[in-house]
Amino acid sequence: MPQELTIVRPDDWHLHVRDGAALRAVVPHSARQFGRAIVMPNLRPPVVTVEQALAYRDRVLAAVPEGVAFEPLMTLYLTDTTPPAEMRRAREAGIVAIKLYPAGATTHSDAGVTDLRQVAATLAAAEKEGIVLLVHGEVTDPAVDVFDREAIFIERHLLQLRRDFPALKIVLEHVTTKEGAQYVAEAGPATAATITAHHLLYNRNALFSGGLRPHYYCLPVLKREEHRRALVAAATSGSDRFFLGTDSAPHPAALKEHASGCAGCYTAFSALELYAEAFEAAGALDRLEHFASRAGPKFYGLAPNATTVTLKKLAWTLPDALPFGDAELKPLRAGETLAWRLAA
């Protein structure tokens, strides 16, 4: 077993960094791990215009520690009323993607899309301008079982979306099911998926082991073991269309350890260590670089980062909590030991 692994510096193709003091607390963690990150626009209020995205970008950059190279790649939050013309302005401003949240699907998604027919002209403009569509792929129909919402979203919406806009680049984000992985594997070059570290490492038992475990609660929720295995197979397959996206989503610890706990796992602090653990368990450490550092840039038409990072097999203990403005932030596996460590 290798004790050290040096790979091209990875990127995070799905990240939440919030705003204000929370942003200043978490951005340094991602900047230490990654060269670039796709920054989610689900602030309150959401980032819906190019001007808002550029101002947000400046706030992210201001939180990057001196001497660290980290490039935030910005996204717009798609609403029922996003004007098609915003797609051209987005491309001209270097904004890479728009995010589709079905209204009500997850944290801060109430401004999301209520009906895909409302946004057809905007999606056509995105297709024309080369703006990538990032999809939170879950139906919001309360009659659908929470664990089935991704598979049903593919049937009810993604198949049609794919047919309607054949050249639109679509990322099925944080894919969590064997149905999702299979769909993406067969969908052709314009369709990709990101996979989180927590969905590679855990199945839904983690939510209930020894008591209710709120820090393992995210959306889409962890699924059965057969799904986790399908995700590991996809991530380690060497495919160009599955790549790293942490979906690291920080919430104050008190709002996760709550009667109505927020969805989101905070993994950015030790993201590469967690992915290395998952790839090592699959006997596929040699595939980590492709998944973490090469497939994503290829899909987005960018060059891989020019620098490298080194992971060492060196046990260390995660802090119990991290500062988060006035609150506390509990990283996934807080207080527990990780086998891999990112070298300084």
Binding site for ligand DOR (CB under 6 A): 16, 42, 106-107, 136, 218-219, 249, 263-264
Cβ 195 to Zn ion, closest distance in Å?
12
Which of the listed partners (ligand DOR, Zn ion, none) does 177 bind, with a CB threshold of 5 to 8 Å by partner kind? none
Which lies closer to ligand DOR via its Cβ, residue 197 or residue 284?
197
CA distance 154 to 145: 15
Cβ 126 to Zn ion, closest distance in Å?
19
Which of the listed partners (ligand DOR, Zn ion, none) does 264 bind, with a CB threshold of 5 to 8 Å by partner kind? ligand DOR
Which lies closer to Zn ion via its Cβ, residue 267 or residue 270?
267
Which lies closer to Zn ion via its Cβ, residue 109 or residue 305?
109
Which lies closer to Zn ion via its Cβ, residue 12 or residue 247?
247
Exposed/middle/buried for 321, CB within 10 Å: 0-12, 13-18, 19+? middle
Cβ 132 to ligand DOR, closest distance in Å?
17
Q: Is residue 172 within 8 Å of residue 158, measured between CB atoms?
A: yes
Q: Is residue 136 within 8 Å of residue 99, measured between CB atoms?
A: yes
Cβ 218 to Zn ion, closest distance in Å?
8
CA distance 136 to 101: 5
Cβ 106 to ligand DOR, closest distance in Å?
4
Which lies closer to Zn ion via its Cβ, residue 198 or residue 294?
198
Parallel, antiparallel, or unpaired: how do β-strands 242-244 and 308-317 relate? unpaired
Interface with Zn ion, residue 138, by CB under 5 A: no
- Interface with Zn ion (CB under 5 A), residue total 1
Which of the listed partners (Zn ion, ligand DOR, none) does 194 bind, with a CB threshold of 5 to 8 Å by partner kind? none
Residues 221-260 that bind Zn ion (CB under 5 A): 247
Any idea which residues carry the catalytic annotation?
Answer: 247
Dmax over CA atoms of the chain, in Å, equals 53
Which lies closer to ligand DOR via its Cβ, residue 17 or residue 276?
17
Q: Is residue 78 within 8 Å of residue 115, measured between CB atoms?
A: no
Cβ 309 to ligand DOR, closest distance in Å?
25
Binding positions for Zn ion, rule: CB under 5 A: 247
